[in-house]
Amino acid sequence: MKELRGSIVPIVTPFADGQVDYDRLVGLIEWQIESGSHGISVTGTTGEPSSLTLEERKQVIQVACQAVAGRVPFVPGTGSVNHRETLELTRYAEKVGADAVLVIAPYYVRPSQEGLFRHFDAVAKSVEIPVILYNIPGRTGVNIEIDTVARLKEANPNIVGVKESNKDFEHINRLLHRMGREFLVYSGIELLCFPILAIGGAGFVSATGNLLPHKVAELYNRVQEGQWKEAQDLHYWLMPLNDAVFLEINPVPVKTILGLMGKIRPEVRLPLAPVSPENRAKLEALARQYGLIQ
């Protein structure tokens, strides 16, 4: 198994005139790898998976996997509100060469813990590659409880970790205490990237990595090198940008700044809408402050 630690960047899905812009997607991946990101993910929350058709999701996964070409771990998001669709996407990701998959808790339906167990258990048993659970209660309406994670791990050796987009830092401490620090726990909350590393986390999946990949990767590298003061300084230096990428719903602000940088067209698909003029001005000012645009 590849080392699934560090800054695994959740790449946006670029659009051009309503269609997926695969050339820009490949360009973003090249830039990420050149900038030192430790891994690549697509079709997670930041990649607008619910706005893509099933075939588009497969195509994005395939194109991204080919672009990564084994240089860093490739961990696509394969979860859906639909169980069979999740199975299909997860198996497809394994087929095209993904190193692991990131599987979100089904959203909207708010399943019980038993429902979550049966869903993830079936997904993990459908493939041989590592499975990372994705817990984001603010979007799914349900929390993957620690007992459920432990039960799933016991039943499935290929469940190797959890991405925690959970603001309850106590929950994450107790999760690592219960599961052990060899279990891969990633921060999905930008302001918790550094704190989760401090308690033994494996890394993070941060939307901010789309904008400053070298600095977000550096945060992990500094901790690995024992440079705690420098990591702490970087944590606070990144904070205004971490806050800005959530001025509106993710990934609208991220795409707006990438558009200002000339990396993509800042298109989103309905029901998402372009950023408001007021927030666009704030994002542009911050992008200048961080040297992202001249």
Catalytic residues: 134, 163
Which residue bears the tokens 């309905």? 270
Supply 38's token pair.
């430790």
Q: What is the Cα–Cα distance from 34 to 176, expressed in whole angstroms?
A: 32
Q: In this structure, which amino acid lies at residue 232?
A: Q
DSSP structure class, residue 74 = B
Q: Give 69's contacts (C-beta < 8 A, 6+ positions apart).
A: none
Q: Give 16's contacts (C-beta < 8 A, 6+ positions apart).
A: 24, 265, 267
* Strand, coil or helix: 175: helix
4 with 40: CB under 8 angstroms?
no
CA distances from 46 to 210, 242, 272 (A): 9, 14, 12
Q: Give 99's contacts (C-beta < 8 A, 6+ positions apart).
A: 1, 2, 4, 73, 74, 75, 129, 130
3-state helix, strand and coil shares in percent for the chain, rounded to the nearest 5:
50, 10, 35
| Strands 15-16 and 19-20, sheet pairing | antiparallel
Q: In this structure, which amino acid lies at residue 174?
A: R
DSSP structure class, residue 77 = B
